[in-house]
Amino acid sequence: MDVVARHLAAIDRLRARDLPPGGAGHHTVELETGRPGTASDDFHALREAMAQRLGARWGEAPPWGQLTLRLRLSRGERIPEPWATLCLRTDELDVWRTEEVWLAVGVADRDEADAIHLLATVTRTPPP
């Protein structure tokens, strides 16, 4: 199984997990982790390959830049989870709404001292 197919299978398992009833709640998993100092280009290429396959399933969606959410947070606005944490960890996300659940995939590479992570999140909370 190729790496993209393996990560898509993990996303399918993530989407099948129960979320707390009533709207709030989310699950975030690290699909892949690099070592500190790893170039992020490979992670971004992998995210883009996954976005192409997921886009074929649920429709094409342009990446969501996270700068506006970071600015809103810095001004004291309350941003719901998981979006607040994701905007601090990623520069952009690929986001789809599938049935009653939102799916976001992104590369957490904003902290140079931390390892790079390919993240997937499912939530019932819509993006702000």
Does some domain include residue 48? Answer: yes
Does some domain include residue 110? Answer: yes
Does some domain include residue 99? Answer: yes
pLDDT (tens digit, 9 = 90+) per residue, 6-22?
999 999 998 888 776 65
Does some domain include residue 41? Answer: yes
At residue 115, the pLDDT reads 87
Does some domain include residue 7? Answer: yes
Number of domains in the chain: 1
Q: Are 1 and 93 in contact (CB under 8 A)?
A: no
Does some domain include residue 84? Answer: yes
Domain extent, residue 92, equals: 3-123
Does some domain include residue 78? Answer: yes
pLDDT (tens digit, 9 = 90+) per residue, 25-81?
899 999 999 976 677 899 999 999 999 999 999 999 889 999 999 999 999 999 999
Give the count of alpha carbons within 13 A of 11, CB side only. 26
Question: How far is residue 37's CA from residue 48's CA, in Å, rounded to a whole number?
Answer: 21
Identify the three-state secondary structure at position 43.
Answer: helix
Does some domain include residue 128? Answer: no
Identify the three-state secondary structure at position 64.
Answer: strand
- What mean pLDDT value characterizes the chain? 90
